[in-house]
A and B are shown apart, each in its own frame.
Chain A
Amino acid sequence: MKRFTIIALLALVAAGAAFAQDVNKILKDLDELGDFDNQDFSAVYTIVSQKPGEKDSVSSVQLFRRDKKKQFTMIVLLPEVNKGQGYLREADNVWFYDPTSRKFSFSSIKENIQDSEARNSDLTLRGFAVDYESSGVREGTIGSIPVWIIDLKAKTNDVSYERLVLHVAKRQTMLLKEEAYSVSGRLMRTTVYGKPVKLGDKQLPSQIIIMDELNPGERSQLTMTQQSLSAIPDRVFTKAYLEQVSK
């Protein structure tokens, strides 16, 4: 009997370990989906933000990414008043360019984009497997799609949120919904990823909605268009390009 118990326990531990491995694989797959390690990526993102009692605010940016070198260039296309403002990232440094004064300044990677609910990190590399560890996983559905509901806890202090709950489609690894919680356990923001498009061997959501759970009614939609994996010339990832594009 004793032996049986030990075997059963060992089996449970082994099953647990196997499961943990699966979760890690899902997280790694998710990271890889958004990671264009050997290819350049470019797209136009339009962000429409709603706040109760206010007119919708609209921003549109052209994004160029070169993940291999941790570079990105982002140029504001809309609104007209901010047209040509640019962000250039190299590793963790971000330069901001104001075309109206032709000056650069340094800005943080965690800064919100154009006062919307979106953050710069939403448009760049995700690192679920690096920044978080799984603290539980269960099955569920959203709409009519069966999903893994994965609970993640932050491993580092560099992340915006302490806890994430991911809803990942079972049929093929694809993030459908993400809930972000603060250290105190409060739901801060919910993100839903819709209308996937295929780009090379990857799938990316072409519409994302981000809801600010602290301020009900405040939500932003990100829409991706003109997505491409075509090679981007090196000069795009320079300060000179930001200056030149606004001339």
Chain B
Amino acid sequence: MPVTIRMAFRNLVEHKAKSLIVGILLALGVLILVLGNSFLDASKRGIEASFTANYTADVIITGKANGPVSLFGVQSIGGLEETPIVPDYEKVFAYAAGLPGVSSITGSASSFGLITKDQERLEDMEEEGDEEMMNSFVMLFGVDSQNYWSVFPGLDIIQGERIKAGEPGIMLAEDRLERISKRLKRTLSVGDEILIQGMGATGIRLRSVPIVGTFRQKSEGAGPEQLSYIDINTLRVLAGMTVGAGENIELSSSETELLALDDLDSLFTDDFFSIEESETSAVLDFDLSAILGDTSARERLNEADTGAWHSILLRLDGVQSPRVVAAKLNAYFAAEGIAAEAGDWQKAAGPYAQSVDVLRIVFTIAVIILAVVAVIIIMNTLVVSVIERTGEIGTMRALGAGKGFVRAMFAAETTVLSLSFGIVGIILSFITVAILNAIGIEASNQFFEILFGGKVLNIIIAPLSVLASLAIIVAVGLAAHFYPVAVALRIQPVRAMQSE
């Protein structure tokens, strides 16, 4: 063992009280860093696992819009931008399905709906509050029944069955069914029809669909609470993804006259009051039953656009990285000139991933502040402890010890101190984590569910975070002793000896 290390050990034992105080601070510093890191890791891992398993799969492909496009639509400033359709769906689907590492693939589309009452029960509605209105809100995931369930096999069916290909139907979460039953004032069960009001690009649509099954909501943390699954064609109609979404209408000039005016006050001239008189007859002289004329085009325009999908979701085999697959897809879209984009689960989770990120950033900042405070205290204590030993340094120098030797001796002392108490801190972290996991702290609200990455806090300490924390604490120790040692070495040995 080199002499500096031996002296370091001897000095640490010699100054027991001082070593213990600094050591405890170092151990606490490591504890905070390891726990904080592990906590953040647990949160991220929990949310990611929940989302990829239940909603987003590993990679998503969407069309492009002005804002980021996720499974839940477009996030745009100042309102609701229509969710873009995946262009060249068949081609993109075929290419994505053929990529190495893709184990299953499905199309999906989403929209919002309102479970609404039928006419006979209207009188009940007037008394209800906002909360009851919210209960009838559903986030609709339009699923391609042929392959959606192979991408998301883990759905926990409680009653009934999954939506079958080509058949209309909706699957509701168990608790949502209860709430909707309460609102509609009738007990709903599998087989019953419910009326859904969709609010899509073309306006309001009503569709009655049978409840084919109920499932247990698996949204750990920040999952979409109102999620329901619906057959894709009903969703398309409700969301306005129909054949006739864009039609041309001829307008007369009087119908757009005011829109073209820049100065509306110019309307109000002196002859404004020369008013035309309308004709009035005793009864309306047109055929009231025929005001619509030909309605045959309407049926065609309201047919679901069977090629319209909002996203394609890919499940990977666990070997390929989602980022690599997404990058390959994006390169393909760029080369082919397809206005689509691919991303990982965070893109797919959109606003949910962002709210998690915001919380994580807030928490990270809190941990950093705590760590900085701990480091300052450690540094301060180290500075004081080195300055107190100015006399000792002077004596050593008077006895012929070089500046380099003194520096090396203090460096060794600090390293030994940081490492040994760092390890104590790590052991404490493992004990704390074991205790916390054994207690099984439950998230009392959604905020904590997001922080915990699930309903119960489950922390696993990552080896990397242990090593990083140890390295940080050693670096802090070395940085903290460097300045006072340099100051002490500048003093003449004789002076330094006198300061004792």
Q: A106-B122, A196-B273 are in contact. Are A98 and B291 (CB under 8 A)?
A: no
Q: Mask for A187-215, Cβ within 8 A of B = 1, else 0?
A: 00000101111111001000111000001
A176 to B265, CA, bound (A): 10
B116 touches A106 (CB 8 A): yes
Contact of A99 with B by CB under 8 A:
yes
Q: Nearest residue in A to B250 (C-beta to C-beta)?
A: A58
Top 3 A-B residue pairs of the complex, sorted by shortest distance between their CB atoms: A143-B268, A98-B206, A209-B258
B200-257, CB < 8 A from A: 202-208, 237, 242, 244-247, 249, 251, 254-257
Among the listed stretches B280-288, B424-432, B443-451, B479-487, which one makes contact with chain A, having 4 or more residues with CB under 8 Å of it?
B280-288
B297 touches A197 (CB 8 A): no
Contact of B277 with A by CB under 8 A:
yes
B298 touches A99 (CB 8 A): yes
Residues of B within 8 A of A241 (CB): 288
Q: Mask for A43-77, Cβ within 8 A of B = 1, else 0?
A: 00010101000011010001000000000000101
Residues of A within 8 A of B202 (CB): 79, 81-82
Contact of A48 among B244, B256, B291, B299 (CB under 8 A): B256
A101 touches B204 (CB 8 A): no
B292 touches A83 (CB 8 A): yes
A100 touches B205 (CB 8 A): yes
A232 touches B284 (CB 8 A): yes
B118 touches A104 (CB 8 A): yes
A77 to B118, CA, bound (A): 24
A50, A144, A174, A239 pick with most chain B CB within 10 angstroms: A144
Residue count of chain A within 8 Å CB distance of chain B: 71
A221-235, CB < 8 A from B: 221, 223, 227-233
A118-149, CB < 8 A from B: 142-145
List 11 extra interface pairs beyond A207-B257, A221-B259, CB under 8 A. Answer: A56-B251, A77-B292, A80-B247, A80-B249, A84-B292, A96-B204, A103-B208, A144-B269, A176-B268, A192-B258, A230-B281
A207 to B254, CA, bound (A): 8
A65 to B490, CA, bound (A): 98
B289 touches A245 (CB 8 A): yes
A75 to B286, CA, bound (A): 15
Q: How far is the CB of B269 from chain A (nearest CB, A)?
A: 6
A58 to B208, CA, bound (A): 28
A223 touches B254 (CB 8 A): yes
A221 touches B257 (CB 8 A): yes
Residues of B within 8 A of A174 (CB): 273
A114 to B199, CA, bound (A): 10
Contact of A246 with B by CB under 8 A:
yes
Contact of A105 with B by CB under 8 A:
yes
B288 touches A236 (CB 8 A): yes
A228 touches B284 (CB 8 A): yes
A231 touches B283 (CB 8 A): yes
A219 touches B269 (CB 8 A): no
- A residues near B (Cβ < 8 Å) are 42, 46, 48, 50, 55-56, 58, 62, 75, 77-85, 93, 95-96, 98-101, 103-107, 114-115, 142-145, 169, 171-172, 174, 176-177, 192, 194-200, 203, 207-209, 215, 219, 221, 223, 227-233, 236, 239, 241, 244-246
A93 to B124, CA, bound (A): 12
Q: A228-B281, A236-B288 are in contact. Are A197 and B275 (CB under 8 A)?
A: yes
A221 touches B278 (CB 8 A): no
Contact of B117 with A by CB under 8 A:
yes
A58 to B197, CA, bound (A): 22
Q: How far is the CB of A54 from chain B (nearest CB, A)?
A: 10
Contact of A80 among B117, B258, B268, B297 (CB under 8 A): B297
A231 touches B258 (CB 8 A): no
Q: Nearest residue in B to A50 (C-beta to C-beta)?
A: B259
Contact of B244 among A80, A106, A227 (CB under 8 A): A80
A80, A199, A215, A231 pick with most chain B CB within 10 angstroms: A80
Contact of A81 among B117, B242, B268, B282 (CB under 8 A): B242
Contact of B78 with A by CB under 8 A:
yes
The DSSP consensus for interface residues of chain A is strand
Q: How far is the CB of B246 from chain A (nearest CB, A)?
A: 7
A209 touches B195 (CB 8 A): no
B301 touches A80 (CB 8 A): yes
A106 to B123, CA, bound (A): 10
Q: A75-B291, A96-B206, A198-B278 are in contact. Are A143 and B266 (CB under 8 A)?
A: yes
Contact of B319 with A by CB under 8 A:
no
A-B contact pairs, 27 of them (CB 8 A): A48-B256, A55-B246, A56-B256, A78-B249, A79-B247, A84-B298, A93-B122, A100-B237, A105-B116, A105-B117, A107-B204, A142-B268, A143-B266, A143-B269, A169-B273, A176-B268, A192-B264, A197-B275, A199-B277, A200-B280, A203-B275, A207-B258, A215-B78, A221-B257, A228-B279, A230-B280, A241-B288
Contact of B395 with A by CB under 8 A:
no
Residues of B within 8 A of A171 (CB): 273
A78 to B295, CA, bound (A): 11
A223 touches B284 (CB 8 A): no
A98 to B302, CA, bound (A): 11
Q: Nearest residue in B to A232 (C-beta to C-beta)?
A: B284
Q: A81-B242, A145-B268, A229-B280 are in contact. Are A223 and B292 (CB under 8 A)?
A: no
Residues of B within 8 A of A99 (CB): 295, 298
A169 to B272, CA, bound (A): 11
Contact of B127 with A by CB under 8 A:
no
A230 touches B292 (CB 8 A): no
A208 to B261, CA, bound (A): 12
A62 to B302, CA, bound (A): 21
B78, B197, B258 pick with most chain A CB within 10 angstroms: B258
Contact of B435 with A by CB under 8 A:
no
Q: How far is the CB of A75 from chain B (nearest CB, A)?
A: 6
B304-358, CB < 8 A from A: none
A7 to B258, CA, bound (A): 51
Q: How far is the CB of A105 from chain B (nearest CB, A)?
A: 4
Q: A101-B207, A106-B116 are in contact. Are A199 and B297 (CB under 8 A)?
A: no
Residues of B within 8 A of A62 (CB): 291
Q: A58-B249, A75-B292 are in contact. Are A105 and B197 (CB under 8 A)?
A: yes
A231 touches B284 (CB 8 A): yes
A75 to B272, CA, bound (A): 31
Residues of B within 8 A of A177 (CB): 264
A78 to B401, CA, bound (A): 98
Contact of B276 with A by CB under 8 A:
yes
Contact of B384 with A by CB under 8 A:
no
A115 to B275, CA, bound (A): 31
Q: How far is the CB of B117 from chain A (nearest CB, A)?
A: 6
Q: A106-B122, A209-B264, A232-B284 are in contact. Are A101 and B242 (CB under 8 A)?
A: no
A96 to B285, CA, bound (A): 26
B119 touches A106 (CB 8 A): yes
